[in-house]
Amino acid sequence: MKKLDVVVCVSILLYLTISIESQSISSPDTPPMLALKASLGNPESLGWSDPDPCKWAHVSCYNNRVTDIQIGNQNLKGTLPQDLNNLTWLKKLDVMKNQLSGPLPILSELNSLQQVLIFSANGANVIGTIPNFLEANTFPGLKHLHLAFNNIQGPILLGFENTFLQSLWLNGQMSESKLNGSIAVLQNMTYLTKVWLHGNEFTGPMPDLSRLSNFNQLSLRDNNLMGIVPLSVVNHPKLAIVNLTNNYLQGPTPKFDTFKVAVDMNKGSNNFCLDEPGTPYDDRVNILLSILEPLGYPAIPTHAWKGNDPCPNIKRWSGIYCDQRNIIFVYMIYWGLSGTISPYFSKFLSLERLYLRNNSLTDTIPNGLTTLSKLKWLDVSHNNLSSKIPHFRPNVRVYTEGNPNIGK
């Protein structure tokens, strides 16, 4: 080989190397990062001026791919662009405590290469619903979902039980209807340790949390939760902080071990039978709560039944009529009830009349009701009951019309 050839060869090699390097300097994540910068109104405060986003402050890269964006507390305005979904190596997106608005982008593509994805938009006023792209079991690394103090609304979807979330902060939504619906899905989110759902409109009972072996903080205050506080929560070995103030929780006041657990449960701010934790409560209340359970704790009785005496002298419990201490009539007409008729009605031995007309009750009329020796009147008309009608004594008037599937 001649000397010149060698020089040419070397320069070509050099040229190739340089051009490969300069190509690789332009990260494939440059367009989406520029889109993010534009969406935030090109804020000068971030100092994002280098052509290479991997050189930007608050941004980390690996192999020229953006892995972390940490622009919390930067007084940013604007929106989060859908182009964020192109940052397929992103592990951490932290935009909390800014004044962002607009919808949450769908981040459905940020899955395959993720080990950890920390999504925290705490304090940003993003709108919409809890992103359902999180439902699919494709975010094995997603451990922290912090969407507190936004404008999001709607339910926590059941698909969340497939996630590996450890902290779920959805508190303080500022949208009109806030987050609502049931929180039953928590019972299967077994990796959870910190659950902050306060300041929303969640309804329904508190789920059994015995499968959440590491969970230690549960903040549910300022919601519309109902029913009995499950013993799996009260006696949870890891529980350290619990907030239950301002709900419609019923039954006995839970008795937490106050040496281990910091309890936020103001007196009179729920519908517990008695304010003193652990005091025994009236068996009639116990039965009534058992009746509400298969009805999903409907709004009317849950909001109105308060205290430890369902037959008070002064303010009658809605739908409950008593003779002294005995419940003799139960009227639950047009209460929007769905669910099933509890067999526990048969524990009210003095019951004479039971009206459950014009609801959406399903399943059967419990056989146990036939044992009520004082029963004279049973009206379950205009529901969606099915199966055979049990055999009542001949002097019981039973109304079942308007149940298309009854007797079938």
Residues found near ligand NAG in the complex (CB under 6 A)? 31-32, 35, 83, 86, 153, 158, 161, 177, 180-181, 184-185, 187-188, 198, 219, 221, 241, 243, 262, 264, 333-334, 358, 362, 382, 384, 386, 402, 405
Residue 229 DSSP code: P
Q: How far is the CB of 214 from ligand NAG (least distance, A)?
A: 18
Please give the Cα distance from 261 to 244 (Å, whole number).
13
- With respect to ligand NAG, which residue has the nearer C-beta, 264 or 293? 264
Q: Are 142 and 165 in contact (CB under 8 A)?
A: yes
Least separation in angstroms between residue 368's CB and ligand NAG is 21
208: its two tokens: 């059994």
SS3 state at 263:
strand
Least CB distance from residue 184 to ligand NAG, whole Å? 4
Question: Which of 227, 220, 285, 208 minimizes the C-alpha distance to 246?
Answer: 220
CB of 22 to ligand NAG, least distance (A): 20
* Cβ-proximal residues to 172 (8 Å cutoff; 6+ apart), any chain: 148, 149, 198, 199, 200
Task: Tell me the C-alpha distance between 207 and 60, whole Å.
Answer: 40
- Least distance (Å) from ligand NAG to the CB of residue 327? 22
> For residues 28 and 307, which CB has a smaller minimum distance to ligand NAG in the complex?
28
Coil, helix or strand at residue 382: coil
Which of residues 242 and 320 has its CB atom nearest to ligand NAG in the complex? 242
Contact 93, 105 (CB under 8 A): no
Exposure letters 58-69 (e unless 16+ CB within 10 A, then b): ebebeebbbbbb
- Give whichever of 270 and 347 is closer to ligand NAG, judged by the CB atom: 270
For residue 204, count other CB atoms closer than 10 A to its CB: 18
Q: Which is nearer to ligand NAG, 46 or 157 (CB)?
A: 157
CB nearer to ligand NAG: give 240 or 311.
240
Q: How far is the CB of 275 from ligand NAG (least distance, A)?
A: 17
Tokens, residue 9: 């060869």
Least Å distance, CB 136 to ligand NAG, is 15
Identify whether the C-beta of residue 189 lies closer than 8 Å to the C-beta of residue 164.
no
| Whole-angstrom distance, CA of residue 139 vs CA of residue 107 | 10
Instruction: Output 146 or 284, the one with its CB closest to ligand NAG.
Output: 146
Distance in Å, CB of 394 to ligand NAG, minimum:
26
Length of the chain: 408
Q: Residue 195 or 291: which CB sits closer to ligand NAG?
A: 195
